[in-house]
Amino acid sequence: MATTAELIEKYKERREKIKQMGEPKVLENRRKAGQLSARERIDYFFDPGTFTELGLFIKHRTAAFGLDKREVPAEGIITGYGKVNGRHVVASAEDYSSMAGTFGEYHGKKFAHALDFAKEVGWPCISMNDSGGARLQEGMDTLESYGWLFRAQILASGIVPQISLLMGPCLGGQAYHPVMQDFLIQCRHTGFMGIAGPAFAKTQIGEEITLEELSGWKAHAVRSGQTHIVAEDDKDALDKCKHLLSFLPSNNKQKPLRTETKDDPERTVPELDALIPDRPTHPFDMLKVITSVVDDSHFFEIMKDYARNCIIGFARFNGRPAGIVANQSMQAAGIIDVNAADKMARFIRFCDLFNIPLISLQDCPGYMIGSEQDWKGILRHGAKLLYSWADATVPLISIIVRKSYAGAHYGMLDKAIGADLVFAWPTARVTIVGAETAASVIFAKEIKEAENQQEVRAKRIEEYDELYENPYRGAERGYIDDIIMPSDTRKMINRALDVLENKTVARPWKKYSNINL
């Protein structure tokens, strides 16, 4: 019989052997490529000495195809909890050096358990994805394990924030996991994600394409809109994740953490008074408005490479985190198309789920028209914005900077759809359609029959413009709470957030809205 000292020594040896991880050659090759190991990622992410590992000794039970003789340290995934900048966080890090981090039965169970644990204790859950895909040797057990993971993350959705870091390959069914989380951060050179890799594409549909083209950062941050943030390398991804977490509460029962700031909440921004071009068709950079009114000019933009005709991201006002949704006239006049609608709607719903106030900065000529957008479902996609605003219970503040036409008026947040406070700049142009369009419809017969058509047309456009294409008609009806100087925008937003800090909303019971998907 072993002595206590011998048992403890054996325990230490077993624990240390597992912590050495998998194949040394794989670890060395990745180190040369500038990638951290799974344990190095965990150590870098968490505050020193705070990480507690769960499931270190978990082991697969498969004997087929020689797996009974195959050691897979920690089942190819490290799970546990610790503190990040002093706040508790749960994390899972896949280990590519251990059988390529393949997803088997107990790999999936550890993954799902981490999410269940995070949900129960009310802490954010972070996943570091880096896997060779399904562990085919385990057959049906692998297949079923994906379902456990997906169900766990769906049931945790809206309860705790979930962030996925795409640091290596993530292909096949497993790729659903990162895209179903709240935010996805993809490493520019090493992160790859797709429903199938190039080999499958060639075999099954005859398409020849590289891994970079099919599954790299451009495929998802620019084209598909599935990547929210692009990072340069592992450390940058982990740093950006920490930064993002700073804007978020730990769970849906908390408010986001307010921080100290020396930036005066009543500060005026005189340069905004001269920002808007004289001609309404000339673009301007909405990012200048955003950075000038938020605390310390700091704006954390999300999905900046996708649907660039709109802007979303996080900032602070007098130390309070807030979500910002805006139009960008520098790109496609800031119009709302199917991609912009999806991008803004999901962000609005996230902020509402986690008690983050929302600020809308409007300069939009409307929803995109024409056969291409109609056939892509602009009505269905555009409706997502309406659901998102109407369902939201957080403070909702709308600033009409310039154009607020047609469906964009409520698609970008007006009184009728749910805004608590609406302010407009003197440059605001708020109407059902632009003066030129309105005149061409209302006065079509008169213009056609006139001897000097151009003169009559110009006169009618000017008449409609003066009567309706301004902020005053909306203010007269109470649809706009006040017309403010652009320079006072920061001050008015901060005052509004003060007033709305304890906003409550009573609604009839229901499971959720049947949103157009």
Could you give the residue numbers annotated as active site?
172-173, 407-408
Q: Which residues pair with 483 in a beta bridge?
A: 424
List CB contacts of 209: < 8 A, sequence separation 6 or more: 198, 201, 202
Tokens 């090493």 -> residue: 190
| Cβ–Cβ under 8 Å, residues 394 and 503 | yes
Query: Which residue, among 100, 102, 124, has the nearest Cα to 114 in the 3D structure?
Result: 124
| Separation between Cα atoms, residue 23 and residue 25, nearest integer Å | 5
Query: Which residue, among 197, 193, 55, has the nearest Cα to 117 in the 3D structure?
Result: 55
Query: Which residue, among 13, 153, 38, has the nearest Cα to 100 in the 3D structure?
Result: 38
Record the tokens describing residue 214, joined without a space. 């099919």
Q: What is the dihedral of CA 178, 179, 185, 186, to 10 degrees?
A: 90
Specify whether the backbone of 478 is left (phi greater than 0), alpha (psi in -120 to 50) or beta: left
Record the tokens describing residue 62, joined without a space. 């498969």
* Strand 396-405 relative to strand 421-424, pairing: parallel
| Separation between Cα atoms, residue 311 and residue 361, nearest integer Å | 9
Tokens 């709308």 -> residue: 398
| Separation between Cα atoms, residue 180 and residue 159, nearest integer Å | 14
| Cβ–Cβ under 8 Å, residues 307 and 225 | yes
Query: Which residue, among 352, 161, 181, 180, has the nearest Cα to 251 in the 3D structure?
Result: 161
Q: How many residues does the chain have?
A: 517
Record the tokens describing residue 450, joined without a space. 């006139």
List CB contacts of 122: < 8 A, sequence separation 6 or more: 159, 160, 250, 251, 253, 254
- Supply the DSSP string of 293-342, one letter for each residue: HSGGG--EEESTTSSTTEEEEEEEETTEEEEEEEE-TTTGGG-B-HHHHH
List CB contacts of 54: < 8 A, sequence separation 6 or more: 79, 80, 81, 110, 113, 114, 117
Distances (CA, A) of 210 to 30, 198, 320: 20, 6, 44
Q: Cα 121–124–130 angle (5° rounding)?
A: 120
- Supply the DSSP string of 105-160, one letter for each residue: HHHHHHHHHHHHHHHHHT--EEEEE----B-GGGTHHHHHHHHHHHHHHHHHTTTS
The helix/strand/coil state of 446 is helix
Tokens 């935010």 -> residue: 183
